A and B are shown apart, each in its own frame.
Chain A
Amino acid sequence: MGVAALARGPGRLATAGRRRVLAGVSVTPAIVYAVFAVLLGLPLLLVLVQAVVPGLFDLTAQSTAPSLAPLARALSSSRVAESVLHSLELAATTCVSATMLGGVFALLAQRCNLPFRRFIAVLPWLVFLTPSYLKALAWVLLMSPGGYLVQLGVLPPDVIRAFFGLPGLVFVQTLNLFPLATFVIGSAMAGLGSEYEDAARMAGARPLRIWLRINGPLLMPAIALSLIAIFAEVLSDFGMASTIARVANFRVLTYDIYAAASQYPVDFPMAGSQALILLLLVLAVVTGDRLLRRRADPRLISGRSKSMRVLDLGKWRWPVAGVMLAVATLALFLPLAAIIVRAFTRTLGGGLAWSNVSDGNLLTALTVGSDANTALLRSLAYACCTAIVACLGALVLAVELDRSRTVLKPLVLGLSLGAVAIPGIVLGFGYILMWNRLPVFRDWPFPHYGAGSLLVTGYVAAALPYCLVIIMGAIGQLAPSLSEAARLHGAGRLERLWRITLPLVLLAVATAFLLTLIRTVFELPISQMLIPQSGPPVPPMVTNLFGHDQDGLGSALSLVSMVIAGGGAGLVWLAFSRFARLSPVMSSGAVPT
């Protein structure tokens, strides 16, 4: 090109004042930030404002007067105090038990010569990807007075009674969330390698002393992170809250917010106050996490693999593997089995008798036009739309943030990292306030309150933060010169995104896409808060079916959803992995320069 291009120059020269706009530097980020603000910032802001201006969205007596009365009412209410106490009690107990279980799981899976080691290493991922409400419903099937474990005579009635309370919730949540601890502590262990351990051995230390004095202290930041992450996760969880906890009449904050915002009589000020309390609790935990990360040795939580010594468990390797498989059975296989059995039987009380077997539930779920099948198709369509929009949005936003030097960058990054911890139920409540009550948005044609489009918007908002974190991580690995080189070769902004950046972060985009797809099909809190008038998607329909003694159809619907969404995502992943192996870039995963 060279001079030839310059020869075309004068007509193409933009004036200094317009140049940034014409170069597309100012307009796109503004739009991207505005979309981000509408999706996440404004709804959360409204939740906060509603908590201190309780009359703002009152349809009968609107008022902009600030008041702390609802907050005071909430704080002095014994019911709210009970919910807060229950939430904290559950979170505090579960974070300890799940961290212990997950830490031991990580240690055994990574550092010991177990049989089926690869299979055991995959198990936490499978547990993590199975929705919590589904596992909770499965445990209701197993542990309710007429449930399978009682029918089989495995457990005495006393244990069954105790299960529907704090012990049972801790038990199920521990099995639900121990994978988080396995990931966090396992990643730190991988980064730790065995060099410190080798040095300690050379200094004459025995294994127990090495773990107490060397590895233990070095893993402390990861253990603390795991405690914090699980604590925040339990506080925000709605799956258990709306299933086992509700059956056990164990009030927790998330369900109370849902009840105040969605069930008759609707009490927005109360919902707002409780949402504020929940947000403050989560914020305190996230702040703790931030402070800890700042102090933690990044080398130990970087996930960078180092060579490590594998411990030989000798004759104990089989029993230990057996115990781990037993944990996996309780966390995954037993609940799945309960769902499968219930899906293929007429009644729960009929038990495992051959005469009780039926394919009726499954046929209903698969019959086109049935409510269950419509919900399934609706969920799959919503999930596909959400995954596409969230991944594209996150990609554009990640590129913008990566090159941005403005003050908005830390703001958006902070908001999105924080948003990963924002309870879905609070976001859903913010959406109700914004799209049902806020002028301009209330009458907005698309998305519109009560329509599927708003639910998808909510899903996108919930998915955007973690899609952004995943894709941003990949983009951060790219040398800026790759895009600059393309720019100097005449490639415009869109071409650079499409032909340079996207192919290099395709693996991350595919990961974000599939994760979003699966999570959205089983997303409960926002689905529950923003049920479209055209009908519910799968998660609220399943909980509703369980609540109306149609647990067979609920199980069948869950099973079909899991097979289609999980199986489909698995197939896409396998195909993609195959493609990735063929491409030297994908397989090396690194910029070679």
Chain B
Amino acid sequence: MTASLKCTNITKLLGGKTVLDNLSLSVIAGEVVSLLGASGSGKTTLLRIIAGLADPDAGEIVLGGRTVWGASGVVPAERRGVGMVFQDYALWPHMTVAKNLSFGLESRRLPAGEIAARVSHALEVTRLGPYRDRYPSELSGGQQQRVAIARCLAARPALMLFDEPLSNLDAALREDMRVEMMDMVRREGITVVYVTHDQAEAMAVSDRIAVMRSGVIAQLDTPQSIYERPADTFVASFIGGFSLLRGSTDSGFFKPASDAGPKILAIGATRGPGTLVVRPEDARPASAFPGNQLTGQVLSRAFQGRCWRLVVTLGGQQLRLDWPEAAAVGSDLPFSLPPERCLVLADQP
């Protein structure tokens, strides 16, 4: 029942501003792809276009081999067979949990027996059986989220869309619900497009992540690849606490700007202005890589359990480093970076 999705050259203008700019995206059947980006990057607009709740100005959308929006025609949202978990869940407050699940099946005039079977299955998968006769207002935030997922599961959609489904939950519940939600979705083998602005969430749920910037996809790759080799400084700045150190490269060496430190060995860009990507966990004692040593002044420190998170300054640029012990604020801290982890990205023109 799950389907592949192919969006080709999607363009959308809102109030004269280009929100999606000739964007293309392919999702294979059963895959989970996240759209990750800041507010205004166009991720929610793309999601609504895929759902059929908004129309693009140009392009083509093919779902399960059928064109659902294109020059040849359009399938309205009601008939696309797409499920969506909304940011606010959009549970109908005047219907019980069971009614919320059966509503869409009744709209499609399925036989009563099948409706009952689907509702029971979805309630069982989401462990909501005991709450079937409750109203949404009588459920906790986590339970409401499970109802929203169960409602989609009961409809057996070709594609499921998640619009920041965890943003309404508190931090403690968020991780539990994320694991539980993706377990259910993976078990059912449904194709998913997942919108979020939280890179940790995107990393955790996705097979691939599309990092979006101003209506285009800046990088589409697996979470590991994006983490290891961000395509450019925009993607690097959006991912997991990376620090960016401006400078220049020459023949495999990187030199920080403003003479903030000596040359160090690096990979990536080979010549000209560039930016060094520093992952906090890559910081090592100065003696570990004596040829790749830098010294910064400690600005602040915060205990994080496994380590201390230090903020150090190098020639006016700040770096975040994970350090095994508490360094004194104001002191100089020599540290080194493994050469193979020192990725330099060429500055964009």
Contact = CB atoms under 8 A, between A and B. Distances in A.
Nearest to A491: B107
A13 B86 contact: no
Contact of B86 (A23, A481, A504, A590): A481
Interface string A258-291: 0000000000000000000000000000000000
11 contacts: A1-B79, A2-B156, A3-B81, A6-B63, A6-B66, A9-B75, A481-B89, A487-B77, A488-B82, A490-B108, A592-B136
Query: Chain B CB within 10 Å — which of A1, A10, A500 has the most?
Result: A1
Interface string A554-593: 0000000000000000000000000000011110101111
Interface stretch (A14-22, A201-209, A453-461): A14-22
B71 A16 contact: yes
A486 B68 CA distance: 19
Interface of B: 1-3, 51-53, 63-64, 66-68, 70-84, 86-94, 103-104, 107-108, 135-139, 144, 151, 155-158, 168
Query: Chain B CB within 10 Å — which of A13, A14, A15 has the most?
Result: A13
Given A490-B108, A495-B107, A585 B83 contact: no
A3 B78 contact: no
Contacts of A486: 92, 103-104, 107
Given A13-B72, A486-B103, A584-B135, A5 B79 contact: yes
Query: Chain B CB within 10 Å — which of A3, A16, A485 has the most?
Result: A485
A19 B73 contact: yes
A492 interface: yes
Contacts of B87: 481
Given A488-B77, A490-B107, A503-B94, A6 B135 contact: no
Given A6-B68, A6-B81, 14 more contacts: A6-B63, A9-B79, A13-B74, A16-B72, A19-B73, A23-B74, A486-B104, A488-B82, A489-B103, A490-B78, A504-B93, A585-B135, A591-B93, A593-B144
A2 B1 contact: yes
A479 interface: yes
Contacts of B139: 592
Nearest to A23: B76
A569 B138 CA distance: 32
A592 B144 contact: yes
A12 interface: yes
A27 interface: no
A58 interface: no
A22 B74 CA distance: 10
A497 to B, nearest CB: 13
Contacts, number: 153
B73 A2 contact: no
A585 B93 contact: yes
B73 A499 contact: no
B104 A489 contact: yes
A492 B103 CA distance: 12
A491 B78 contact: yes
Given A479-B90, A488-B78, A593 B104 contact: no
A162 interface: no
Nearest to A5: B81
A359 interface: no
Query: Chain A CB within 10 Å — which of B52, B64, B74, B76 has the most?
Result: B76
A304 to B, nearest CB: 20
Contacts of B158: 2-3, 6
A171 to B, nearest CB: 48
A14 B74 contact: yes
A482 interface: yes
A16 B73 contact: yes
A297 interface: no
A312 interface: no
A549 interface: no
A484 B90 contact: yes
A5 B90 CA distance: 23
A485 B90 contact: yes
Contacts of B135: 584-585, 592
Given A12-B79, A491-B107, A585 B74 contact: no
Contacts of B107: 486, 489-492, 495
A229 B104 CA distance: 46
Nearest to B157: A2
Contacts of B74: 13-14, 16, 19, 23
A202 B108 CA distance: 63
A521 B119 CA distance: 49
A492 B78 contact: yes
A12 B81 CA distance: 14
Query: Chain B CB within 10 Å — which of A2, A15, A590 has the most?
Result: A2
A14 B67 CA distance: 11
B144 A583 contact: no
Contacts of B76: 19, 22-23
A9 B68 CA distance: 9
A14 to B, nearest CB: 6
A545 to B, nearest CB: 47
Contacts of A489: 103-104, 107, 151, 155
Query: Chain A CB within 10 Å — which of B52, B68, B75, B108 has the most?
Result: B75
A488 B67 contact: no
Cβ-closest 8 pairs across A and B: A489-B104, A13-B73, A481-B90, A592-B137, A485-B90, A2-B158, A2-B81, A490-B107
Nearest to B85: A485
Contacts of A14: 73-74
A1 B108 contact: yes
A490 B91 CA distance: 15
